[in-house]
Amino acid sequence: MKILIIHSFYRETGGEDNMVLGKIALLQDAGFIVELLAFQNPTHFLSAIVDLFFLLFNVASFIKTINKISKFRPDIIHLHNWHFAASPSVIVAAHFLKTPLVMTVHNFRLLCPSAILFHKNELFLESLNEKFPWTAVKIGAYRNSSLQTFWLAFSVFLHKKLKTWQKVSKFIVFSEFMKDVFLQSNFGISADKFVVKQNAIIDPNHWAKNGRGKYFAFVGRLVVEKGIEVLLEAFANTDFQLHIYGYGPLTQRVRDFAELHPNISYKGALPHDDLFVELRKCSALIFPSIWYEGMPLTVIEGFSTGTPVIASNLGAMSTMIRDHYNGLHFEAGNPQDLAQKLAYWSALPEEAKEQYSQRARATYEENHTQQVNLQRLTAIYKEAINEYQLKLQSIDK
């Protein structure tokens, strides 16, 4: 099978970019012929403005995609980030050359210009059922700019009217929750076009049954949407030990809070090589996000080391973490409820905690290994190719 991956790389390399590169390596190692058509979102302000202007239909991207498909002749195209250097023109190019295309939906940009359904430190869901996201435009949900928000919203809206999104054979989402959000919105794509494929990581081989510490751990960016305030308030004035790893806009806030509360230790940024060692040592991972996460790798990394997760019952966490199975749920944004779950967990016998740990590792092995990911991905490709060929045959008749 010949697979063309299309991706617009972000100005600063992030998890999505690394995920795309990892997927290419996985497919190539499995014997597939894979090539990457890369676009680069510009770092220069004027270049960014030009690319944003051509978001409606980037002719240069269209021609580049046409040339690549004509030369490589892939069996299927896998599109990741189209925003904004590639633009939806790459979908039109694939359709023009009669090549099936699947698209991984990494966020909610097709539903709301905010992309993350989060604005001004709280969930922002108004766009989900508006015919046009005027509320998002009014508040400047994208980059705090009403003008840029309107242009992004209009681009998505226009291609919705032109049925560009209908030309995508399959939309790959990370969780049943994410799928439900799309189906309950006004996006207008039928359920059969959505498939769930969870994220995966390479087995770190840091799984062992015994030897955990008594402390809890948080690993992630120190930003409001990650629930940092909820985390700090839940541990304040308790005896529960917390190690915080990460950096971000709230770093100084965390430093200051830790100085006032001796049970909280700020450890700074955690090198990825040390991540699994630290996860393996903690009693449980705390994941207090207050926004709709796609499918956080930190949770998967925790599961891979047999680390139970205590998480807000929101978004992907509501399905990734099974309450009283591989972790615990608490009410999102409620530090008192999180504190109660910490007390519950700490009072559990070691044998019960060990069962949670074994089930967390089993969750990783069942859903998040590279082998499972490869099998699911290739099945999606084959299904999309077969359905597309049948569609072409019916048109020819």
Query: CATH number for the domain including 222?
Result: 3.40.50.2000
Is 183 in the same domain as 227?
no
- Note whether residue 88 is domain-resident: yes
Asked if the structure places residue 141 within a domain, the reply is yes
Q: Are both 92 and 234 inside the same structural domain? A: no
239: exposed, middle or buried (Cβ count in 10 Å: 0-12, 13-18, 19+): exposed
pLDDT at residue 31 is higher than 80: yes
- State yes or no: pLDDT of 254 exceeds 80: yes
Q: Give pLDDT, residue 84.
A: 85
Whole domain around residue 305: which residue ranges?
216-367
Instruction: Report pLDDT for 161.
Output: 96
The predicted structure's pLDDT at residue 41: 86
Q: What is the mean pLDDT of residues 278-297?
A: 95
82 and 94 housed in the same domain: yes
211 is a domain residue = no
Which residue spans within 192-345 are E strands per DSSP?
Answer: 194-196, 216-219, 242-245, 264-268, 284-287, 309-312, 327-330
pLDDT above 90 (res 92): yes
The three-state secondary structure class of 194 is strand
* The pLDDT of residue 323 is above 80: yes
Same domain, 246 and 299: yes
- Say if residue 332 is in the same domain as residue 343: yes
How much is the pTM? Answer: 0.93
Quick one: pLDDT at residue 126? 97
Do 190 and 83 share a structural domain? Answer: yes
Whether 207 maps to a domain, the answer reads: no
Residues 350 and 333 both lie in one domain: yes
Pair 153, 15 in one domain = yes
Q: Is residue 208, in this structure, part of any structural domain at all? A: no
157 found inside a domain: yes
Q: Using one digit for the tens of pLDDT, what is the confidence trace for 117-176?
A: 999 999 999 999 999 999 999 999 999 999 999 999 999 999 999 999 999 999 999 999
Q: What percent of the chain has pLDDT over 90?
A: 88
pLDDT at 234 over 90: yes
CA distances from 200 to 117, 174, 197, 325 (A): 24, 10, 9, 20
Residue 39 falls inside a structural domain:
yes
Claim to verify: residue 16 and residue 64 sit in the same structural domain: yes
pLDDT score for 144 = 93
Same domain, 90 and 177: yes
Q: Do 26 and 158 belong to one domain? A: yes
Q: What is each CA distance from 36 to 20, 74, 76, 99, 212, in whole angstroms?
A: 9, 11, 12, 16, 42
Name the helix (H) or strand (E) containing 122. Answer: strand 122-123
Average pLDDT (74-95) is 96
**245 and 131 belong to one structural domain:** no
Stretch among 26-40, 99-113, 381-395 having the lowest mean pLDDT: 381-395
How many domains, the chain? 2
Q: In what order do the strands lie in the sheet with 216-219?
A: 264-268, 242-245, 216-219, 284-287, 309-312, 327-330
Residue 211 has pLDDT above 90, yes or no: no
Across the chain, mean pLDDT equals 94
